[in-house]
Structure 1
């Protein structure tokens, strides 16, 4: 197939996150299977306009907002060239159905519904525009097309909050982590947070919890791994015992996560929470709030703990530290072992070929790698 994958950023963009990992891991597997893949995305300062990586032709154009019309124009000039367009929605979709021919199959890829997050990042008038584009405008534009979501939470949010009516299939995240080397669990309590430094991740809640936790465990430390627009502000208010590492290589990140007792995610909502699965693969359970996406990635009482929204984070982490034992490590690794990028790519490829993929869910457990 000739595939165009349109995504807000690529994995090398300074503000890349889990959505970029998802898009790239699938794109490179499609290219490996012999498909012709174009990855159309924004261009950060210093990035080349074009690249070929792992057999994928990358085309970069525009910035935060201008990438949308430029990507549409790029597709319009190639109208009819592609068999499939994967339109990755990162708050606002690209509205690609308006730029391709009728024979081109368009799949909207939805990580999570952003309606509540627009107000966190944007002024009221622009947040209202974002909610309109994500809701009524997108619902109309993609009404005849299949959608892909990464979790049951996202499907529910699409149905309930966006009033989505078309077919939605779940294609979950996979997981791959670098070797942590000889890093072993720290002798003293150690927390880790991995993710982009943006407002809706609510890292302030975790930083506020650290002084209280250190009164109970004086040797407790927190490692924060990630970068983003909030980095400078957060660095200015780090409490004692907290290290903000910024960007790290996959090997460095794996070593830090492997030393932690707990991974903590205080986000107000995710599509899934790729960092949760990556921590689980290294045997580290997660403490998170019971919100969209994270309630799918964390199995409460088995691979971590889900706290009610508004609950005291310090108390939740303290309870987890008291309860923590080796069974969580075992169950984390078992849970992460159910997911693979190869399986996710195969599932999406089946949809692109017009096939009905095999059932993914058995009860509440994802069915992958031939499991029934």
Structure 2
């Protein structure tokens, strides 16, 4: 008689996991939520695409990780998995494309880090981008119209509301951040900038290179550390050569966690020039080392991960990005005050608090399943979205980065018109690929720097 596989209480569907060559901050978030639920006694599985740096199946910190299919094949495999295993609740991680799990399950929570409006045409071109955006902005909200949503920032929640998702169905659960580890060396004696992330067009690392080139005549010792891997690497190296700053830019590629934190700790300023960020985990990681961030206001989630004027600076275009970096380089006292505030803000964001808020949204959906007993410490929290909203006060409001030494003005917001102007100005600066690479191709040796190792077999993940 065949052995029936154990029931699944919570099934996460994610295109990538943290060990994937293109995994990053959003994948780390998924792992943290899954591991947190597993630690509460739930049977948790993460279903994602297969790749050559991890086995087809393994258990990582209590979570069963199952890898099947490729970049697109994982979607069909995931639907079959849901239909056959009938989990108590599905967490459908919508990274642009949903898994359409609502077609085979009535118990679904949708996790969205950010809306991909700007990224579709950059990655897939005009026609492919239009199709992708229609799926994300029209089809998906209709398909999941009765489902609860989780996102990491208020800016993404606002965009979801614009797409037709009811605000009362959205819970905001921000990223946590690990405590900063000890590093061998402290702040560099000479000015250093750092940019951290996948080397792909929408991360716009070329803006960081441009800032370095513009400031180099006045700051001859200025250096830029580029930490991360990706298929845009060759184009970035060409730009560095074209601008004549080869000796001032170091491409570190993939680095492990200790090296990554060492590079962050050495930096004077962290740059985050992305088109879009749901939150920006690198911002918090840099902040944990007392390093302020300069990034684009129009990126969305940075308006919450960066407390403008207190833990960093938000700007609207490349000229302002350059000017803000130069001001910080020339103002040691102001830079140090921002760094201290960034460190306090990062310390206020913890994974346990985020997991608690996430659980308060997922568990009410799960209660209809006979396979699970709700942990006692989560009983009585009330409705999932409302409970998460209340817990958010504890997650985010623990510390806003202010301290007795802060001298900055707290009011640095923008209205909708200002944000629209920011989008227009930023798009005009974006450099697009000279030739388009096939979207389905992922080089086996590409691995982003900041995906935390999950197991020994995937040590570079």
Same fold (TM over 0.5): yes
Quick check: which has more Rg, 1 or 2?
2
Partner in structure 2 of residue 141 of structure 1: 143
Q: Which runs of 5+ in 1 are unaligned?
A: none
- Structure with the larger strand share: 1
Say whether 1:97 aligns with 2:102. Answer: yes
Residue pair 1:178, 1:250 contacting (<8 A) in 2 also? no
Shift of 1:361: 5.5
CA shift for structure 1 position 111: 0.4
Q: Which residue does the alignment assign to 2:301?
A: 293
- Are positions 1:84 and 2:94 aligned together? no
Pairing partner for 2:341 from 331, 352, 355: 331
Q: Please report how far the alpha carbon of residue 165 of structure 1 lies from its aligned counterpart in structure 2 after TM superposition.
A: 2.6
Equivalent residues of 1:115, 1:130 under 8 A apart: no
2:25 equivalent to 1:15: no
Aligned equivalents of 2:235 and 2:182: distance in 1?
A: 30
Distance 1:23 1:299 in 2: 24
User: Mean alpha-carbon deviation: is it higher for 211-220 or for 248-257?
Assistant: 211-220
**Deviating 4+ runs (over 4 angstroms):** 360-363
Counterpart residue number, 1:366: 396
Q: 1:310 to 1:264 in 2, by over 3 A?
A: closer
Q: Could you say which residue in structure 2 is the equivalent of 1:343?
A: 353
The residue that corresponds to 1:107 in the other structure is 109
The answer to whether the Cα contact below 8 Å between 2:180 and 2:261 also exists between their aligned partners in 1 is yes
State the Cα deviation string for residues 145-187 of structure 1 (Å, max 9, x = none). Answer: 1001100010111122x23236111011000155142321001
> Is contact 2:200–2:231 with CA below 8 Å preserved after alignment?
yes
The Cα of 1:237 is off from its aligned counterpart by: 3.1
Q: Displacement, 1:255?
A: 0.5
Following the alignment from structure 2 to structure 1, what is the Cα–Cα distance between the partners of residues 24 and 80? 26
Distance 1:230 1:133 in 2: 26
Number of residue pairs aligned between Structure 1 and Structure 2: 362
2:169 maps to 1:164: no
Which residue of 30, 34, 42 maps to 1:35? 42
Match of 2:405?
Answer: none
CA distance in 1, matches of 2:37, 2:196: 28
What pairs up with 1:117-266 in 2 under 5 angstroms?
Answer: 117-160=119-162, 162-165=163-166, 167-238=169-240, 239-240=245-246, 241-266=248-273
**Structure 2: where are the runs of 5+ without partners?**
1-7, 365-381, 400-461
What is the DSSP-based 3-state SS (H/G/I as helix, E as strand, rest coil) of the residue aligned with 1:216? coil
State whether residues 180 and 252 of structure 1, in contact with CA within 8 Å, keep that contact through their aligned partners in structure 2: no
Q: Which digits, 9 at most, give the CA deviation of each residue in 1:105-140, with x for residues without a partner?
A: 211001000022101100222111111110111111
Counterpart contact for 2:293–2:311, Cα < 8 Å: yes
Higher RCO (Cα < 8 Å, 6 or more apart) = 2
In structure 1, C-alpha distance between the alignment counterparts of 2:355 and 2:53, rounded to whole Å: 30
Structure 2: distance between partners of 1:298 and 1:46: 33
> TM-score, with normalisation over the residues of structure 2?
0.75
Aligned-partner Cα distance in 2 for 1:207–1:46? 31
Q: Structure 1 length as normaliser, TM-score?
A: 0.93
